[in-house]
Every structure is written in C-alpha cells, then in structure tokens.
Amino acid sequence: METRPPPMSFVILSTLLLLYAEAKTIDPYRVLGVEKNASQREIQKAFHKLSLQYHPDKNKNKGAQEKFAEINNAYDILSDEEKRKNYDMYGDEKGAPGFGAGHPGDHGGYTYFTSGGPGQSGFTSGSGGWQHMGRQGSSQTFSFSFGGNGGSRSFGGGGGPSSFGFDLDDIFSGFFGGGMKDQGQFGGFGGSSRSQSQSRSSPKSIRAINSEVFRKEIADQGMTWLLLTYTPSLQGKQYYESIIEEVASLLQGAIKVGSINCETESTFCKDLGMRPGRTPRLLVYSYKGSEKGSLEEYKGDLIAKNIKTFCQEHLPRFSKRISLNHLDLSSSNVEKYPRVILFSTKKDTPVIWRVLSGLYHKRFIFYDAEVHDVSDPAVKKLGVDALPAIIGYLSNGEKHILKSGISVKDLKSAIQDLSMLLDGFEKKNKKVASSQTSKMQTDSTEGQLPLLMASNFEALCGEKTPLCIIGAFRSSRAREKLDSLLSKVSQKSLSRRQTQSVASGSRDSISYILLDATKQPSFLSAFDKSGFKSSDNIVVAYKPRKMKFAAYMSDMTMEEVETFIGSVLNGDVQFTRTRQKPVLK
C-alpha cells in the first residue's frame, strides 16, 4: 500500500503549534529560582539578587542583557497578584489560555498542545474533538482557541475532511502582523496583545510626581523623599521600583517615595537637572546641608541596604545636640516656639527625632542629648525617671515631662505616636501664649511693660497700632530703668488720653513696650544700620502703618524722655523712613 505524505494543512498546523509552544512565557518561577508557593518577599529577594547579577551596567557578558530582560519579565508576572494568579491557572499572565478567552476547567473551544519530550507530544480539542495523544507524565500544556467570526473552515486530506473551527487567514495575519488583519507582533492569534517588553505602570506605593506636586508637597516641607527619574524606554525601571519599595518599607514613616516620568515631565526634569541618562536615576530630597532642601543623587550599588543608609544620612538635622551641662532650657522670657529635648543613649541624634525635627520645623525648637543613666544629677533634677525621655518647655518657660521610658515597636508607629504628643503640646502652648499676651496687655496699664516678642508683635506693635514707644535695652540695669521711666510717662497727662484709647482702637492710641536688643539685633537694624549698638538703652517711636521712626539716645531721665514723647505726640519730631520692615525672631 502506498504511503501518502501528511496533508499540507496538518503540517502547517503542527508547525504553528510547535512555534507557539516555544513562544509561550518562560516559567517565571524557574527564571527566578523560587517555588510556586513562594512569598512576595522571597520573590522580591530573588529578583534583587538576579537583577544585580545580570544588570547590563554590571554584567558585560554575552547574553546578560537578554537574561536581565527575562528576569524583569518574570518579576513583572509574579509581583502582580492578578498576573500571577492567571499564570498559575492558565500558564499565561493575561488570563487567556492561548489565543482567546476561556474558563479554567472548561476546555470547550480550546485545543491543548502537550510537550513532554520526544514521543510524548500530542494535542486535544474541546468537547467532541481531538483527544489527548500523548502518555501521561511530566509535561507542559499550552492552550489554543480557534474560531473566526464566520463559521469554521474545513481542511483535510487523505482520510477525509475534518472541521477545526478556525480561519487560516486569521491565524497568518495575526502571526506575521500583516496580510488581511494587522494584529500586532507575534503573541496572539485572537487579537492584539501587549508586548512583553512594555513597561508596567508604577506600583501604587510609588507616587507619580509632577512640578505642581513637587512645589506644594516636597520643596522645603521638611519631609525626605526618595525619587526615581526615568523615561519609559529605559531598561531596569521595574528593578529600581522594587528597590524603592523595599527601602520605603524599611524606612516607613521616615521617608516618602515618588517617580518622575521625564518623557511627560521633560521641562520639570530639565529645570531640576534630573533628566536620566542611560539608566534611571535615584535622588534624595535632602536637608543634610541646610534648612533648605536640595536634591542629592545616589550613585552607589542598587542594594536596598545601601540606599537605606544613604536616605538616613540625608534626613533632616534640625535638632541641636547639647551636653548635660546645658539641659535647663527654662526661660523667663516669652519665646515664639515651644522647645522639646530628647534624652537617649544614642551617640548621634536618633532617626525618629531627626524625622520629627523636619516634620515640625518652624513649629518647635528641637534639642537632644546623650544620657546613659537617669541617676545623673543633671537629669534627675529634671524629674526624668526612665530613658528615652522627652521634656517640653512652653514658650513661657514652663517645663513638662512629655514622655519617659519610650518604647518603639517600629519606625512608623513611633513617629505617629510622638507626632500626636507634639500636636497636643503645641495646642497647649498656643493657649499659654494667648493668655500671656493678654496678661502683658493688662500689666502695661498697671505700670509693668510687656516684652516685645514675635508671638505678641502683631497685638502690641502691628499695623493696627498707629504708634509704638519701644524701650530697647542691652543690660538688666537698662531694662529696669526704661521700664520705670516709660511706665511712669505712660501715666502722665501728655499721654494718658492716648493710652486709654488703646482699647477703643482710636487713631491716637499708643503702645508702650520693651525690647531685648541683645536677642533681637535685626529688629533694630531695620531702623539703623548699626542697630544703635553704641547705646545701652534707646527709645524708639515707631509708626507701623507708615514704616517711619524717630529715636532718642541721650540722657535717660524722666524729664528728657517725657519731652521726647511729648514732642512725638505733638508732631514736633521729624520721622525717618525705616530701612526695611522690622522683623522679630
């Protein structure tokens, strides 16, 4: 009997099936060297290790770049919960067994090609179709869906026609990306598919940053940011993102992370000098050098531990390190901000305290000190009974033990707990400052002049006050003298009418106040370039609305001071424009 060659249609189909079997996604578990039940942490660690080994910048061997792409593709599947689930169920991360849609366990409409080595191959169709032709064993199964829009096409030979239910024109057009239907590159017969090299979007934990977000939420806000700059065409973005996520988890609460697409934000990247080169770049928004933030690039190995250390080095340093000999921060004068000091056994300012000093910059004054034993006389005197401990001083100098024996479970929760503590102390300080200002205003009518500070400046010498008589002193003796003189002058008939009209808001109202010139030199410099440094005591008549002043520095006697103020009220003294607006620290 003559042996007939297999029909051409069968040869074509077999070739397509074999080629597609080779084109299927390489087993991502095998690529990363992990078990199918591996945790995300195990997958991430394996990915980091292999990416570092085969990164094109580190490995110049032949095939390293292809291996690196393979590793990234495997991680893209296994790091995504939905893609991993689809791969485990169908052998394809898109959730489509082969060419089209289907349901797990329901083989209707699919043909499965099984490859298990020589002599172990076969394929089977859905219900009523081909059956499995290979023996059981360790084999890999791939699924296919055949079906055009209009019925089925029959082809066959030899033994008679057989109906397979797919259109060869559709197969070839999809395969080669041309012909009757342009369906994209090799990778899907039933429709277009995404190229495996296409970059996935950034993880949700990595925020997309543009110029507006940077200006409002990053620049000089006190928080340290780890930023990735990239363009979609660069290789290795997924690896950088996984590193960033790991560092963010290690420093959770201490830093924030973001990414900047320099293709869509080209002007922004150019303005900041952050445009990536051959590979993405990692930068830290740092407060290491000054109160103003700046971008510092990380140029070391892409190892999470090393990047974490780099980020820690660039955390804010707004806390002043002091010794045990200078622990008493009480003050008899009203301060603008409350002060807090941390006692710990650390040789350097702890990470948590540095983070808080950035978050609460210009809201608190931070200090920290190294203490090894609460029995130390200087510490014991303050009432601290356990370490670490935080002591706070209100702006009026009142001391409070905020927390002692601090226990830290993790960085994030510790920062949250201490933030709540500082928020509460800040509210208490605002109440104290408000009552203190009211007391100063009341005391001034009784002959005790208030001390001008940043916290009460608007109330005592702001634009609503037409005239301020300021007695500036540089010694305690000068202070006592000015306080006595100006208190008495304020009660004299020449100014009694103006003083009494303060409460009514009259245009003729005057405010009598004192100023510590040693602590506020810049304030006096707004009037005179030298800041009147040659005088131990000065009387300045200042008109806030008009930004004009007149100064008296001669003999500080009752008669002379009274004459000067009387002349000011009568308009007999020439006023001079201030050099700039007076500002108190």
Report the range out of 54-68, 122-136, 204-218, 433-447 with the highest average pLDDT.
204-218
Domain 445-577 has CATH 3.40.30.10: yes
pLDDT of residue 201: 54
Can you give the C-alpha Rg of the chain in angstroms? 39
Q: How confident is the model at residue 221 (pLDDT cuts 50, 70, 90)?
A: very high
Inter-CA distances, 293 with 149, 252, 320, Å: 61, 20, 18
CA nearest to 448, candidates 516, 397, 513: 513
pLDDT of residue 329: 56
pLDDT above 70: residue 192: no
- Whole-number mean pLDDT of the chain? 75
Inter-CA distances, 101 with 78, 182, 198, 252, Å: 21, 20, 22, 41
- Listing DSSP states for 469-515 in one string gives EEEEESSHHHHHHHHHHHHHHHTSHHHHHHHHTTTTT-TT-EEEEEE
- Residue boundaries of the structural domains of the chain: 8-176, 207-313, 320-435, 445-577
Angle separating helix axes 304-313 and 237-250, nearest 10 degrees: 60
Residue 563 in tokens? 């004459």
Q: For 19-54, what is each residue's pLDDT tens digit?
A: 444 445 589 999 999 998 998 888 888 888 888 888
Average confidence (pLDDT) over 252-273: 92
Q: How confident is the model at residue 289 (pLDDT cuts 50, 70, 90)?
A: low
Residue 153 in tokens? 């096409």
Average confidence (pLDDT) over 416-441: 82
pLDDT above 70: residue 399: yes
**CB of 166 within 8 A of CB of 153?**
yes
Q: How confident is the model at residue 505 (pLDDT cuts 50, 70, 90)?
A: very low
Q: How confident is the model at residue 402 (pLDDT cuts 50, 70, 90)?
A: very high
Say if 8-176 and 320-435 have the same CATH topology.
no
| Residue 579, phi then psi, degrees to nearest 5 | -70, -35
pLDDT of residue 219: 92
pLDDT above 80: residue 62: yes
Please enumerate in sequence order all residues whose Cβ is within 8 A of that of 355, keeping only pairs 6 or more positions apart, or say none: 224, 253, 254, 315, 316, 415
**CB of 549 within 8 A of CB of 575?**
yes
**CB of 485 within 8 A of CB of 477?**
no
pLDDT above 80: residue 585: no
pLDDT of residue 326: 64
pLDDT above 80: residue 418: yes
CA angle, 227 then 231 then 235, to 5°? 95
Q: What is the DSSP letter of 252?
A: B
pLDDT above 80: residue 257: yes
Q: Which of 36-40, 173-177, 369-373, 423-427 has the lowest mean pLDDT?
A: 173-177
The CATH-assigned architecture of domain 320-435 is: 3-Layer(aba) Sandwich (3.40)
Residue 123 in tokens? 């394929």
Average confidence (pLDDT) over 351-361: 94
Distance of CA 175 to the CA centre of its chain: 46
List strands edge to edge, sheet with 294-298. 207-208, 255-261, 224-230, 281-286, 294-298
Mode of pairing for the β-strands spanning 339-344 and 389-393: antiparallel
User: How far apart (Å, rounded) are the C-alpha atoms in residues 148 and 213?
Assistant: 49
Average confidence (pLDDT) over 344-363: 93
Residue 155 in tokens? 């082809």
| Residue 212 burial (C-beta neighbours within 10 Å; 0-12, 13-18, 19+) | exposed
Q: For 293-339, what is each residue's pLDDT tens digit?
A: 899 999 998 899 999 999 999 999 999 999 877 665 554 444 578 99
- Listing DSSP states for 553-578 in one string gives -S---HHHHHHHHHHHHHT-S--EE-
Q: For 70-121, what is each residue's pLDDT tens digit?
A: 888 888 889 888 888 888 887 777 665 443 333 343 333 333 333 334 334 3
Domain 8-176 has CATH 3.30.470.30: no
Please enumerate in sequence order all residues whose Cβ is within 8 A of that of 420, keeping only pairs 6 or more positions apart, or say none: none
| CATH number given to 207-313 | 3.40.30.10
Q: Which has more pLDDT, 263 or 25?
A: 263
pLDDT above 50: residue 182: no
As a whole-number percent, the residues of the chain with pLDDT over 70 amount to: 70
pLDDT above 60: residue 159: no
| Residue 289 burial (C-beta neighbours within 10 Å; 0-12, 13-18, 19+) | exposed
- Listing DSSP states for 514-541 in one string gives EEETTT-HHHHHTT-TTTTTT-SEEEEE
**CB of 359 within 8 A of CB of 423?**
no
pLDDT of residue 328: 56
pLDDT above 80: residue 348: yes
Average confidence (pLDDT) over 349-370: 93
Please enumerate in sequence order all residues whose Cβ is within 8 A of that of 25, keeping only pairs 6 or more positions apart, or say none: 73, 77, 87, 91, 92, 93, 196
Q: For 507-559, what is each residue's pLDDT tens digit?
A: 347 899 999 998 888 899 899 888 788 888 999 999 999 999 999 988 889 88
